[in-house]
Amino acid sequence: MSSLLHRLTRPATVPIRRWVLGAFPRGQSGIDYDHPLGDPGWFGPDSVTWRVHAEFPGMLAGGLCALMLQTLHPLALAGVYDHSNFRDDLVGRLRRTTAFVACTSYAASGEVEALVGKVKRIHAHVRGQTQDGQAYSADDPALLTWVHVTEAYGFLQGYRRYCREVPEPIADRYYDEYRRVAEALGATDVPASEAEVEAYFARQQTLLRFDARSREVLAVLSSIRLPVPMAGLSRELFLGAGAALLPEWATTMLERTPLQRTQARASARLLQGMSPLFRRALQDGVAARACARVGVPTSTLAHW
């Protein structure tokens, strides 16, 4: 049956695999996911984190949802606006973020600690003032918490929407586990459950705004061209699927039109249907390598 399924799905999985590896090439981060044998890293095969982060559709759509949310925080946005080349290399920024999440999720402890240390050193030099005179710094614990919570929210909702159901106790475990990365970077008061995340977002809304800078970053994001076939169609699919994950308050604040909302729902339905094909096309990714490193079958990640 497995062989038959492979033959039947191959016409779809081969181009999907080519698309993913074209957009996010492997082997460029220099991270060793295969050694040392037995090292579970910061989370390990019993974690919810290994399960949630193993699914490409949920992670990419969730990451794009997080970027949209992050454009609403003027201090977090200022660091990106003033200190990165997002206008010319948004693809590179997405790839670096993907590599950081992959490493901290699945690499052995030594690799994770080295990368976290490197990012902290970079953050120490990212500081400045907003246009209205507010000081910001990338190592501000409050801003680190905002970036982390938007990403964790996006990843979890992406997994829920496009992969499989997540019971509330499992979701709470995910938030509690994954905050370890944020705290290692210097974040404080990081929400550790779904209820805490919801309350956190409610508190943050008074600090958020949708302004000209937000619009500019979203415009760059909406015109991104990954070096893959059908770049425009795939971009619209994942951007729409990411927007479908936004909480209602953020959808309103981002001034999403009725047409955009309809398109997001259509993208979400399409990606949900395609998700099993992505899983079959990408059976040898970093999650599988981490499982091999600790001596458990990849199928372990299919069960809570």
> According to the model, what pLDDT value does residue 1 have?
42
Helices marked H in the chain: 2-23, 48-52, 56-70, 74-83, 86-106, 109-123, 141-162, 168-185, 194-204, 212-222, 231-243, 248-253, 258-281, 286-294
Average pLDDT for 39-56:
98
Domain boundaries, the chain: 2-294
Where on the phi/psi map is residue 165: left (φ > 0), alpha (ψ -120 to 50), or beta? beta
Confidence of residue 231 (pLDDT cuts 50, 70, 90): low
Task: Count Cα neighbours of 35 within 13 Å in the Cβ-side half-sphere.
Answer: 2
Rounded-to-integer distance, Cα 262 and Cα 223, Å? 19
Quote the pTM value: 0.95
- The residues with which 128 forms a beta bridge, in sequence order, are 136
Q: What is the pLDDT of residues 234-292, one digit of tens each?
A: 889 999 999 999 999 999 999 999 999 999 999 999 999 999 999 999 999 999 999 99
> According to the model, what pLDDT value does residue 7 have?
62
Q: What is the DSSP string of 207-227?
A: G----HHHHHHHHHHHT---S
> According to the model, what pLDDT value does residue 131 have?
81
> According to the model, what pLDDT value does residue 187 have?
98
Confidence of residue 233 (pLDDT cuts 50, 70, 90): confident
Q: What is the pLDDT of residues 188-222, one digit of tens each?
A: 999 999 999 999 999 999 999 999 999 999 999 99
Q: What is the pLDDT of residues 80-125, one digit of tens each?
A: 888 877 777 788 888 999 999 999 999 999 999 999 999 999 999 9
Q: For residue 39, is pLDDT > 80? A: yes
Say if CB 206 and CB 163 are below 8 A apart: no
Say if CB 98 and CB 20 are below 8 A apart: no
> According to the model, what pLDDT value does residue 124 have?
94
- The residues with which 136 forms a beta bridge, in sequence order, are 128
Query: Rounded to the nearest 10 degrees, how much is the dihedral formed by the CA atoms of 109, 66, 141, 116?
Result: 20
Say if CB 175 and CB 149 are below 8 A apart: no
Instruction: Respond yes or no on whether the N-terminal peptide bond of residue 15 is cis (omega within 30° of 0).
Output: no
Residue 262, Cβ neighbours under 10 Å: how many? 11
